[in-house]
């Protein structure tokens, strides 16, 4: 009764405070018994218009109960030139219902950017990289090529805490850039011949991917065999949005042949401010029956460290925590990696065949990546059921002790996983 009473009191109080104005408002309810900081909120264009009426060329902004403007962004998800979603973050007390104002303004405000997708290309391969927001992969760009066509070999995404990259060639692997700063760094990473495999003021590349799935690359399990997302007939990358609260990018792979079947894949990756993870949503076409999608965590250095913590009854989790970075100057640095997936699509865990870290270093192709159709190895796998015309999501977490001192202990990393898992299990509501 106390929880219900608190919710009613908070809602009534908010309504009284807002009653002196006719400004449209939304009520955001936190049903959980813990505070939620930097909680993502997304409203569709239709939901906003239901509150404010016709936009008449104006732009919605969000204010709290103290009339303070909250950073937000208007995102054109389908890239048709018209915004589709209003995105922002709020801080919510436990068991509370809080009102926020939506106001229309004539000019869309600009806020400090804290998230981004970044891709840059050197047309002449002379290390002079220029930013691009869309790219169709050249047909002859298959295995890793040097000198590089793309800055850090592909596209990257980051917020004020973590950064990642995906190789834009037949490897399609994913990697982690560990950050020691809250500033955005991808635009400078690898520029001017700097080696991001060595510690810099901002941080460094943390893991060796080799023939593993690295930090959340994808594949398919079919009749007991593992197939990485490798060479495809074509591939395209697009930056969808970036700004003060979230960034979204999309990679489309056409003509992926797996044991006689051909699929098209769309991976939509999003990252929110202040989070230690990204979210990947996978759509597959060409399958008339369910497919077992796989992703995973590299395990070259942490064979005895894998754990499967029970965070709550709604999610499954695989986690490693160990001295497993590529910082040769300090092999003791701790890194936590984890994948959290909702159980409604979860199939199971599996270990890909293990080679060794030493053999990965000696193998020329593993040193720079993998060749076409090379088997998946050295990965703690997560298997998910992907039904026709459906999507699946997973969340990949990275916790480096130089990013946050809480990650000097495994418990500090587990606390972050548990909190985010509980948020997935008990989402907020908006009215």
CA gap 169, 141 in Å, rounded: 6
278-290 as b/e: b if 16+ CB within 10 A: bbbebbbebbeee
Rounded Cα distance between 293 and 228, Å, is 10
Q: What percent of the chain has pLDDT over 90?
A: 83
Judge if 100 and 217 occupy the same domain: no
SS3 state of residue 406: helix
Question: What's the pLDDT at 371?
Answer: 59
Inter-residue long-range contacts of 403-406, CB under 8 Å, 24+ positions, other chains counted: 403/161, 403/162, 403/178, 403/179, 403/180, 403/203, 403/276, 404/161, 404/276
**Does 397 lie in the same domain as 277?**
yes
User: What local confidence, expressed as pLDDT, does residue 29 receive?
Assistant: 98
What is the model's pLDDT at position 301?
A: 82
Q: What is the pLDDT of residue 360?
A: 56
CB 226 within 8 A of CB 377: no
CATH number assigned to the domain comprising residue 44: 2.60.40.1180
- What's the whole-number mean pLDDT along residues 399-427? 98
Interval 222-278: pLDDT, tens: 999 999 999 999 999 999 999 999 999 999 999 999 999 999 999 999 999 999 999
Question: Residue length, the chain?
Answer: 431
pLDDT score at 23: 82
> What pLDDT score was predicted for residue 370?
59
CB 97, CB 3: distance < 8 Å: no
Strands (E), 15-112: 25-30, 36-44, 59-63, 69-70, 72-75, 85-92, 96-105
* pLDDT, position 251: 98
pLDDT at position 361, please?
A: 54
Q: Could you tell me if 300 and 414 lie in one domain?
A: yes
Characterize 368-390 residue by residue with b for buried, 16 or more Cβ atoms within 10 angstroms of its Cβ, and e for exposed. bbbbeebebbbbbbbbbebeeee
| Residue 166 is assigned to a structural domain of this protein | no
- For 349, the token pair is 């865990």
In angstroms, what CA-CA distances link 161 with 32, 166, 170, 206, 369? 25, 18, 28, 14, 26
Quick check: pTM over 0.75? yes
Q: Give one word for 295, left, alpha or beta, with left for phi > 0 and alpha for psi -120 to 50.
A: beta
Tens-digit pLDDT profile for residues 373-382: 689 999 999 9
Residues 269 and 388 grouped into a single domain: yes
Same domain flag for 93 and 216: no
Mean pLDDT of 186-190: 96
Question: For the ranges 156-160, 290-294, 303-307, 347-351, which has the lowest average pLDDT?
Answer: 303-307
pLDDT band for position 9 (cuts 50, 70, 90): very low
pLDDT on residue 16: 46
Judged by phi (left if over 0) then psi (alpha if -120 to 50, else beta), residue 369 lies in left
Residue 261 to residues 254, 255, 290, 328: CA-CA distances in angstroms?
12, 9, 13, 43
Angle (CA) 197 204 294, round 5°: 85
Judged by average pLDDT, the poorest of 16-25, 291-300, 383-392 is 16-25
Residue-range definition of the domain harbouring residue 104: 2-109
Together in a domain, 415 and 290: yes
Extended strands (E) in 185-312: 203-205, 215-222, 225-228, 234-241, 246-258, 261-272, 277-285, 291-298
Q: What is the pLDDT, as a whole number, of residue 359?
A: 57
pLDDT one-digit tens code per residue, 84-122:
999 999 999 999 999 999 999 999 999 999 999 999 999
As a whole number of angstroms, the distance between CA 108 and CA 58 comes to 8
Give φ, ψ of 416 to 5 degrees. -65, -45
Range in 27-36, 40-49, 189-198 the model is least confident about: 189-198
Q: Of 93, 109, 125, which residue constitutes the final position of a domain?
A: 109
Distance CA 99, CA 67 (A): 11
407-422 average pLDDT score = 98
Res 15 pLDDT > 50 = no
Q: Residue 158's beta-bridge partner residues? A: 116, 163
Alpha-helical segments (H) within 188-230: none
Helix (H, G, I), strand (E, B) or coil at 207: coil
Classify residue 384: in a domain, yes or no: yes
Burial of 292 (0-12, 13-18, 19+ CB in 10 A): middle
Give domain status of residue 95, yes or no. yes
- Between β-strands 277-285 and 174-179, what pairing exists: parallel, antiparallel or unpaired? unpaired
Give the CATH number of the domain where residue 371 resides.
2.70.98
Count of domains forming the chain: 2
Any idea which residue has 């709604």 for tokens? 314
Q: Which of 141-155, 162-176, 247-261 has the lowest mean pLDDT?
A: 141-155
Q: Which residue has the higher pLDDT, 286 or 21?
A: 286
SS3 of residue 270 by DSSP: strand
Residue (of 290, 272, 349, 267) closest to 316 by Cα position: 349
Mean pLDDT of all residues belonging to the chain = 91
On whether both 103 and 214 belong to a single domain, the answer is no
Of the three residues 56, 86, 109, the one that is the final residue of a domain is 109
State residue 286's pLDDT score: 93
Predicted local distance difference test score (pLDDT) of residue 140:
87
Euclidean distance between CA atoms 116 and 184, whole angstroms: 8
Phi, psi of 45 (to 5 degrees): -55, -40
Residue 117 lies in a domain: no
In this structure, the answer to whether residues 397 and 249 fall within a common structural domain is yes
For residue 150, being part of any structural domain is answered with: no
Is 153 part of a structural domain of the chain?
no
Peptide bond into 371 cis (omega under 30): no
386 pairs with which residues across the strands?
291
Classify residue 161: in a domain, yes or no.
Answer: no
Give domain status of residue 233, yes or no: yes
Q: Which of 109, 128, 150 is the last residue of a domain?
A: 109
Average pLDDT over residues 37-59: 97
Residue 8 has pLDDT above 60, yes or no: no
Q: Which H or E run includes 380?
A: strand 379-386
Residue with tokens 């990259």: 165
Question: pLDDT tier at 184 (50, 70, 90 boundaries)?
Answer: very high
Tens of pLDDT, residue by residue over 174-183, are: 999 999 999 9
**What beta strand segments (E) does 116-224 contain?**
116-121, 130-132, 134-136, 150-158, 163-167, 174-179, 203-205, 215-222
Domain shared by 100 and 220, yes or no: no
């Amino acid at each position: 009764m106390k929880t219900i009473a608190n919710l009613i009191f908070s809602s009534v109080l908010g309504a009284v405070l807002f009653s002196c104005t006719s400004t449209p408002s939304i009520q955001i309810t936190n049903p959980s018994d813990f505070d939620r900081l930097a909680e993502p909120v997304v409203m569709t264009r239709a939901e906003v218009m239901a509150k404010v009426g016709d936009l008449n060329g104006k732009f919605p902004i969000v204010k709290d109960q103290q009339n303070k403007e909250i950073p937000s962004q208007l995102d054109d998800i389908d890239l048709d030139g018209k915004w589709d979603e209003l995105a922002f973050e709020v801080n919510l007390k436990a068991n509370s219902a809080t009102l926020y104002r939506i106001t229309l303004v004539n000019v869309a405000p600009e806020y400090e950017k804290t998230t981004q997708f970044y891709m840059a290309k050197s047309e002449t391969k002379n290390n002079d990289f220029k930013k691009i927001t869309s790219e169709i992969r050249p047909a002859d760009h298959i295995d890793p090529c040097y000198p590089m066509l793309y800055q850090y070999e592909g596209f990257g995404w980051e917020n004020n805490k973590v950064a990642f990259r995906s190789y834009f060639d037949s490897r399609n692997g994913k990697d982690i850039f560990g950050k020691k700063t809250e500033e955005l760094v991808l635009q400078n990473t690898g520029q001017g011949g700097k080696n991001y495999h060595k510690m810099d003021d901002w941080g460094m590349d943390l893991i060796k991917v080799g023939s593993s799935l690295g930090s959340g690359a994808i594949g398919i399990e079919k009749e007991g065999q593992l197939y990485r997302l490798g060479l495809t007939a074509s591939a395209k990358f697009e930056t969808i949005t970036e700004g003060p609260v979230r960034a979204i990018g999309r990679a489309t792979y056409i003509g992926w042949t797996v044991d006689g079947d051909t699929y098209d894949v769309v991976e939509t990756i999003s990252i929110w401010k202040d989070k230690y993870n990204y979210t990947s949503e996978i759509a597959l076409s060409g399958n008339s029956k369910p497919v077992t999608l796989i992703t995973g965590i590299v395990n070259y250095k942490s064979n005895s460290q894998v754990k499967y913590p029970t965070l709550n009854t709604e999610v499954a989790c695989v986690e490693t925590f160990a001295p497993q970075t590529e910082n040769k100057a300090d092999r003791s640095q701790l890194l936590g990696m984890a994948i959290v997936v909702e159980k409604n699509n979860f199939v199971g865990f599996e270990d890909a065949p293990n080679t060794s870290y030493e053999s990965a270093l000696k193998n020329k192709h593993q040193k720079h990546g993998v060749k076409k159709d090379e088997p998946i190895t050295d990965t703690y796998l997560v298997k998910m059921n992907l039904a026709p015309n459906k999507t699946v999501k997973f969340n990949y977490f990275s916790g480096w002790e130089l990013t946050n001192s809480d990650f000097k202990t495994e418990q500090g990393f587990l606390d972050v996983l548990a909190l985010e898992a509980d948020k997935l299990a008990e989402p907020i509501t908006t009215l």
